[in-house]
Amino acid sequence: MLVLGVESSCDETGIALYDTQQGLLSHALHSQVAMHADFGGVVPELASRDHIQRALPLTQQVLDHANKTLADIDGIAYTQGPGLSGALLVGTSIAQSLAFALQVPSIGVHHLEGHLLAPLLEDNPPAFPFVALLVSGGHSQLMRVDGIGQYELLGDTLDDAAGEAFDKTAKLLGLGYPGGPALAKLAEKGQARFTLPRPMLHSKDLNFSFSGLKTAVLTLVNKHQPLDQQTQADIAWEFQESVTEILTKKCMTALRETGLDSLVVSGGVGANTRLRESLNAATKRKLCNVSYPRLEFCTDNGAMIAFAGAMRLDAMPDSQAALDYSFQVRPRWDLAELKQP
Ligand code: KG4
Ligand code: ZN
């Protein structure tokens, strides 16, 4: 079954073709980072307008690259939520219109399910069950994953998500948008000099809290005005250490408490090199496995949506593959509402 995937929940238009026999055939991405950079963050209206311009040319590009035509498509998957409503509407309308024209089944995919399953696109994919750490711009969650649609929330953030903490801290340090990669780059030049808190490191649960960390950075920044480059880098270094230590400790506790020996990391912060180093070392010590998506599939992309959609469409009995092309987007959508296919 050949599935076209369409992702447009935020500031990246991602399109991909996934074949349930042959795997990922092609994928293409347009990032709007440069367009939003002047505004210091994503401007929803501009994001929607840009998705409109990019989606169909990218679709043609992935078809050409895979040597396929529209007539070869057996199903269409699109991000239905969560995300920016206008941006979601663009991808959803295009996906549903194409499905209607081709008279093929379509399916709305939960963006976080896409992230969660992204590591399964790699060679030697991890087997179910596993513990998943999902760390993106909007989420920091630990989950027990027993199969597609079988997600048990083990821990969540009480305030800022990990990526949000990176972005806000980067802003405090005067770095541009998106802050995560910029802060990680700056931290490479930093060293141990300051001490920042490790919020909830020793809490008995698997929850996180990052907003206090951001406030502690603000206090440091105010104390060291005007910030010289080395001070900036040293604060970035310590911030990254704090987030890394908290995430690593909670992942190891989740593995111990569930009795599982496999960890899967996904979402934009999963691209962080220091975090990967730390998780690699900690899981190795406990003889556990850790898997990540390739770097480009940590952040938003169409491949993860094509894959998650293909798994669900493939599992759907023909009688249920309703050719219903009415739709609604779900800007807010709890992952726990998902069912097994
Ligand atoms: O998964 P994603 O692309 O979008 C959401 O669904 O939110 O994640 C984006 C987040 C941003 O907060 C970005 O700053 C962060 O991931 N990020 C990073 C790195 N690359 C992206 N954070 C830390 N280190 C990185 N290398
Ligand atoms: Zn995402």
Ligand 1: list residues with CB < 6 Å: 115, 136-138, 163, 166-167, 178-181, 184, 267-269, 271-272, 299-300
pLDDT given for residue 323 in this prediction? 77
Domain residues of the chain, as ranges? 2-116+298-337, 129-292
**Segment 302-312, tens digit of pLDDT:** 999 999 999 99
Residue 178 pLDDT exceeds 90: no
Residue 40 pLDDT exceeds 90: no
Please state, rounded to an integer, the average pLDDT across all residues of the chain: 96
Query: Which ligand minimizes its atom distance to the CA of 298?
Result: 1
Q: Buried b vs exposed e over 280-309: b needs ≥16 C-beta within 10 Å? A: eebbeeeebbbbbbeeebbbbbbbbbbbbb
pLDDT given for residue 321 in this prediction? 67
Q: Which of 135, 166, 277, 296 to mutate to test the pocket of ligand 1 (most atoms within 8 A of CB)?
A: 166
pTM (two decimals) = 0.95
Residue 322 pLDDT exceeds 70: no
Gap between the Cα atoms of 25 and 41, Å rounded? 32
CATH topology of domain 2-116+298-337: Nucleotidyltransferase; domain 5 (3.30.420)
Query: Which ligand minimizes its atom distance to the CA of 177?
Result: 1
Which residues are in the CB-under-5-Å shell of ion ligand 2? 136, 300
**What is the total residue count of the chain?**
341
Residue 129 pLDDT exceeds 70: yes
**Segment 12-34, tens digit of pLDDT:** 999 999 999 999 999 999 999 99
In DSSP notation, 68-119 reads --GGG--EEEEEEESS-HHHHHHHHHHHHHHHHHHT--EEEEEHHHHHHHGG
Residue 129: is the preceding peptide bond cis (ω within 30°)?
Answer: yes
Classify domain 129-292 by CATH number: 3.30.420.40
12 CA distance to ligand 1 centroid (A)?
12
Same fold, 2-116+298-337 and 129-292: yes
